[in-house]
Structure 1
Amino acid sequence: MDNVIDKEKLLLIYNPIAGQELINRMLSDIVISLQERWDVTIRPTLRQEHAEQIAYEESGGYNVVVAAGGDGTIHEVVNGLMRLDRRPVLGILPAGTANDIARTLQIPLDLLEACEFMKQELPQAIDIGRCGTRYFVNFLGVGLISTVSSEIKNETKTYLKHFTYYLKSLQYLQEDHLFRTMIKTETETIEKEAVMVYVAKGMSLAGIELFTENKMNSGYLEVIVVENIGLSEIVSVMSSYLRREPFQHKAISRHKASSLTLECNPAQIIDTDGEENGKTPVDIKLLVGALHVIGRI
Structure 2
Amino acid sequence: MRQRKIFKQDCYAFLCFGNNLNKHSRAVKSEMDNVIDKEKLLLIYNPIAGQELINRMLSDIVISLQERWDVTIRPTLRQEHAEQIAYEESGGYNVVVAAGGDGTIHEVVNGLMRLDRRPVLGILPAGTANDIARTLQIPLDLLEACEFMKQELPQAIDIGRCGTRYFVNFLGVGLISTVSSEIKNETKTYLKHFTYYLKSLQYLQEDHLFRTMIKTETETIEKEAVMVYVAKGMSLAGIELFTENKMNSGYLEVIVVENIGLSEIVSVMSSYLRREPFQHKAISRHKASSLTLECNPAQIIDTDGEENGKTPVDIKLLVGALHVIGRI
TM-score by length of 2: 0.89
Shift of 1:37: 0.1
Q: Distance in 1 between matches of 2:234 and 2:189?
A: 23
Shift of 1:248: 1.4
Name the SS of the counterpart of 2:156 in structure 1: strand
Unaligned runs of 5+ in 2: 1-31
Q: Distance in 2 between matches of 1:3 and 1:248?
A: 53
Q: Distance in 2 between matches of 1:2 and 1:121?
A: 22
Q: Distance in 2 between matches of 1:21 and 1:165?
A: 22
Q: Distance in 1 between matches of 2:42 and 2:319?
A: 25
1:26-60, Cα deviation, whole Å (9 max, x unpaired): 00000000000000000000000000000000000
* Bigger proportion of residues as helix: 2
Matched, 1:221 2:255: no
Shift of 1:22: 0.1
Q: Distance in 2 between matches of 1:122 and 1:109?
A: 18
Q: Distance in 2 between matches of 1:25 and 1:204?
A: 27
Q: Distance in 1 between matches of 2:77 and 2:305?
A: 19
Paired position in structure 2 for 1:18: 49
Q: Aligned pair in 2 of structure 1 residues 3, 162: CA closer, same or farther (>3 Å)?
A: closer
Name the SS of the counterpart of 2:244 in structure 1: coil
Aligned residues: 297
Quick check: 45-54 or 240-249, which moved more? 240-249
8 Å contact from structure 2 (residues 186, 192) kept in 1 = no
Name the SS of the counterpart of 1:213 in structure 2: coil
Q: Distance in 1 between matches of 2:46 and 2:299?
A: 29
Q: Distance in 2 between matches of 1:136 and 1:212?
A: 19
Q: Aligned pair in 2 of structure 1 residues 41, 83: CA closer, same or farther (>3 Å)?
A: same
1:183-241, Cα deviation, whole Å (9 max, x unpaired): 00000000000000000000000000000000000000000000000011001100110
Paired position in structure 2 for 1:281: 312
Greater Rg, structure 1 or structure 2? 2
Q: Distance in 1 between matches of 2:173 and 2:33?
A: 59
1:122-180, Cα deviation, whole Å (9 max, x unpaired): 00000000000000000000000000000000334522211110000000000000000
Paired position in structure 2 for 1:194: 225
Name the SS of the counterpart of 1:90 in structure 2: strand
Name the SS of the counterpart of 2:34 in structure 1: coil
| Higher-RCO chain (CA-CA 8 Å, sequence separation at least 6) | 1
Name the SS of the counterpart of 1:235 in structure 2: helix
Name the SS of the counterpart of 2:190 in structure 1: coil
Q: Distance in 2 between matches of 1:157 and 1:293?
A: 30
Query: Which residues of 2 match residues 1-297 of structure 1 at below 5 A?
Result: 5-297=36-328
Shift of 1:246: 1.0
Q: Distance in 2 between matches of 1:101 and 1:3?
A: 32
Q: Distance in 2 between matches of 1:184 and 1:2?
A: 55
Q: Distance in 2 between matches of 1:2 and 1:89?
A: 22
8 Å contact from structure 2 (residues 102, 130) kept in 1 = yes
